[in-house]
Amino acid sequence: MTDRLDRVMAYVDGELDDGARRAFEAEMTADPTLAAEVAAHRELAERLSEAYGPVVREAVPLRLDLAARTANDQARPRIGTWAAVAASLVVGVVAGRFALAPEPAIAVGIELPARTELARALDRQLAAEPGVVRIGITFRDAQGRYCRTFQSAADRLAGLACRGDGRWRVTTATAWTPAAGPDYRTAASGTPPEVLAAVDRALEGETLDASQEKAARDAGWR
């Protein structure tokens, strides 16, 4: 690696001390080629930040949020079936294609942290709108709470969440992986039978139609 490139990098990366920086800047004034190299490196840094910057503003998948807050429970249960799962347990299911794939965590009975993409989708997204999370059916249960079915590709999870005290709470969840191919987002159904069974148990009356769903969302699910 040339000294010259090293010095350009160190300048652009803010690694020079005051004296060296001033000397470099004096050199740059006298040498337009050097100034052009600095400009090219600055532009590269900018393009990289712009390409990867938006990731930090994305909503975080639920499973990552849960991994950070629950992994210290030594007796973290890992159970394969849902029938036996009591409220507030975090459960692992077999994961996908990453060779060392961790088990996606699923929480039943927990309030969804508002920053998760699942909570955001439940708040805002209408049925059949595309996204990493898809919303299926919306209805009110016997207590008058709004409930919505969801499928989350990032969490590899499908389930039912109901709204109470201003937060979404997952009442049923099951492992779910999007069908191969680009079509699953537009497919009308795909809701697992366990979730549909939970809907049948909770449903009071009719499911909301598109305009009722939109009105409920616009009213903040109150």
CB 198 within 8 A of CB 147: no
By beta-carbon proximity to other proteins, the closer residue of 43 and 209 is 43
Burial of 132 (0-12, 13-18, 19+ CB in 10 A): middle
Backbone angles phi, psi at 155, to 5 degrees: -90, -5
CB 139 within 8 A of CB 155: no
Structure tokens at 168: 């979404």
Instruction: Give the footprint of other proteins on this chain (CB under 8 A).
Output: 1, 5-6, 9-10, 13, 15, 40-41, 43-45, 47-53, 55-58, 60-61, 63-65, 67-69, 71-72, 95-102, 104, 130-132, 153-154, 178, 180-182, 185
By beta-carbon proximity to other proteins, the closer residue of 134 and 163 is 134
Least separation, in Å, of the C-beta of 163 and other proteins?
23
32 secondary structure, DSSP code: H
By beta-carbon proximity to other proteins, the closer residue of 59 and 85 is 59
Least separation, in Å, of the C-beta of 12 and other proteins?
9
CA 179 to chain centre: 19
Q: What DSSP string describes 36-72?
A: HHHHHHHHHHHHHHHHHGGGGGSPBPHHHHHHHHHTT
